[in-house]
Amino acid sequence: MTILGAMLAGTTAVMGTAGAAQAAPAKPKPKAAKQCVTDNKLVPSCGVLWGAAAGGFSPLPRDRELKTWEKLSGRTSTIYHTYHKGDEVFPTPAEIAMTRDPNNPRALLLNWRVEYGSTWANVAAGKLDARIDKFAAHIKSTYPNQKFFLVLNHEPEDDVNPKPGSGMTAKDFAASYRHVIQRLHTKGINNAINVVAYMGNEKWMAQSWWSDLYPGDDVVDWIGLDSYVSAEKGYYHYGKFNDLLDRKATGGKGLGWYQWATTKHPGKPIMIAEWGAYHRVGKVTDKSAQFNSVLPELAKRPAVKAIVYFDTKKDAFGDRDISINSSTTSLTAFRKLAANPLFNVKIA
């Protein structure tokens, strides 16, 4: 080797060694995203459960309406909300099938008016035990293992008749609720997760009997709220997501609903069992502000563990549009909300 060759070889060796010494360290592997899962009370370990009742007053089957809504919103629901009363046999085969979809399993949120055609007092007195026992037998034979949410007579406030002996006082409701849950337990029903769902309306919260509605922490697993806001400025209950959570009794005294629930019943998970933004039918108003307000408010309210939208083109009175697609801008905002990973929760 010539002297020049030796020098070049030495230079190359030095450069190679220096290059190796200066090589960037290998990048650490990114950590896998934390999987949010539900526990034995269907409370998520992280995140918020996402659900819906779609086609509220449509004649079409609820399961079909929900699947259509899921495609529209861009997210499969984790909670499927349905409604029943009296001696109806449920969960139905169609409802059960929705929870056993191998690709998109959902948890049922079953709403049942046990007292239908009777009174809360009669339920509490055991006069409708045959109805309760029939439901228990159906659960044991068709749906014995999967957890499901059970709401008894949601929004009881406007059904209250405070007159003594009416059978429909607030205390009668609490006693009725307790009796049903306790009887279901004696019948071996252990997969029902119990929810008491309020209206959270300032008129009812101002009533002297309002606190008497609560059945007791021992029979309530989740505290629910059914509440809505208007997108139409100046119309009834105009506001954003915080407004449906923070309503106070008429006069503005006392605790807002969320503060009441977390203060009086700390540790109980909160479910917004029905929520929505509306405008009057024919008075199309952009709902983006309402939908865009959800995530910031949830960040401030860790007790809220589930939100369930109630979607309908017309409400029970035919005058409010609560649909997510009443305008293209509203739908765009809602789809953005639905896409957030906060709602990536797996039913365990």
Residue 25 lies in a domain: no
Q: What does the block give as tokens for 131? A: 């109805």
- pLDDT digits 0-9 by tens, 43-84: 999 999 999 999 888 888 999 999 999 999 999 999 999 999
pLDDT recorded at residue 316: 85
Long-range contacts of the stretch 234-239 (C-beta < 8 A, 24+): 235/279, 235/280, 239/290
In a domain, 232, yes or no: yes
Give me the pLDDT at residue 263, please.
Answer: 97
Torsion of CA 343, 346, 347, 348, to 10 degrees: -150
The domain containing residue 158 runs over which residues? Answer: 33-346
192 in Cβ contact with 240 (< 8 Å): no
CB neighbourhood size of 164 (10 A): 8
This prediction's pTM: 0.90
Give per-residue pLDDT as tens, 312-343. 999 988 899 999 999 999 999 999 999 999 99
Number of helices and strands in the chain (H, E): 12, 11
Rounded CA gap, 269 and 261, in Å?
9
Distance of alpha carbon 196 from its chain centroid, rounded? 12
Closest by alpha carbon to 107, among 60, 154, 40, 169? 40
Query: Is residue 296 included in any domain, yes or no?
Result: yes
- Give whole-number Cα distances, 46 to 33, 39, 305, 346, 348, in Å: 12, 11, 8, 10, 13
pLDDT of residue 64: 95
> What pLDDT, in 10s, does the model give residues 9-48?
444 443 344 444 455 566 666 565 689 999 999 999 999 9
Domain count along the chain: 1
Least-confidence region, from 68-77, 99-108, 154-163, 182-191: 99-108
Among 125, 123, 41, CA closest to 85:
123
240 CB-near residues (< 8 Å, 6+ apart): 229, 289, 290, 293, 297
Residue matched to tokens 């001696």: 87
250 has pLDDT over 50: yes
CATH classification of the domain holding 218: 3.20.20.80
The answer to the question of residue 103 being in a domain is yes
* pLDDT score of 266 more than 50: yes
Q: Does residue 251 lie within any of the structural domains?
A: yes
Structural domain contains residue 177:
yes
Cα–Cα dist 321/281, whole Å: 5
CA 65 to CA 58: how far, in whole Å? 8
**Residue 163 forms part of a structural domain:** yes
* Token pair recorded at residue 23: 């090589």
Let me know if residue 23 belongs to a domain. Answer: no
Q: What SS3 class is residue 216?
A: coil
Bridge partners, 309 (sequence order): 52, 275
pLDDT confidence bin for 138, thresholds 50/70/90 = very high
- Give the largest CA-CA distance in the chain: 116
Coil, strand or helix: which one is 345?
Answer: strand
Assign 163 to helix, strand or coil: coil
